[in-house]
């Protein structure tokens, strides 16, 4: 099984990914992209050249959240 370099969604806050950038080989194998789940085409650069994608995230909008259930 072949795995291409790791690509992650990034919030833009460098402190949130400092531990990942410090990993051995990160300079060669880690690429960070900022994208928006509800903006069409925003993940195009991140998935360019991939044969498959495991999408495990979903947007959650909590407008007027009052009911704890």
Residue carrying the six token digits 């360019």: 48
Dist. CA 22–CA 19, nearest whole Å: 5
Q: Give the 3-state secondary structure of residue 56.
A: coil
Q: How many domains does the chain have?
A: 1
Tens digit of pLDDT for each residue in 11-47? 678 888 899 889 998 888 888 887 777 789 988 988 8
pLDDT band at 69 (very low <50, low <70, confident <90, very high): low
* pLDDT of the residue at 24: 92
HSE-up (13 A, CA, CB side) for residue 41: 0
Domain limits at 3?
A: 1-69
């Amino acid at each position: 099984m072949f795995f291409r370099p790791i690509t992650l969604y990034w919030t833009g806050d460098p402190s949130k990914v400092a531990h990942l950038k410090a990993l051995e080989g990160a300079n060669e194998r880690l690429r960070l992209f900022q994208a928006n789940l509800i903006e069409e085409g925003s993940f195009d650069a991140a998935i360019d050249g991939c044969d498959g994608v495991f999408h495990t995230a979903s947007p959650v909008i909590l407008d007027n959240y009052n009911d704890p259930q």
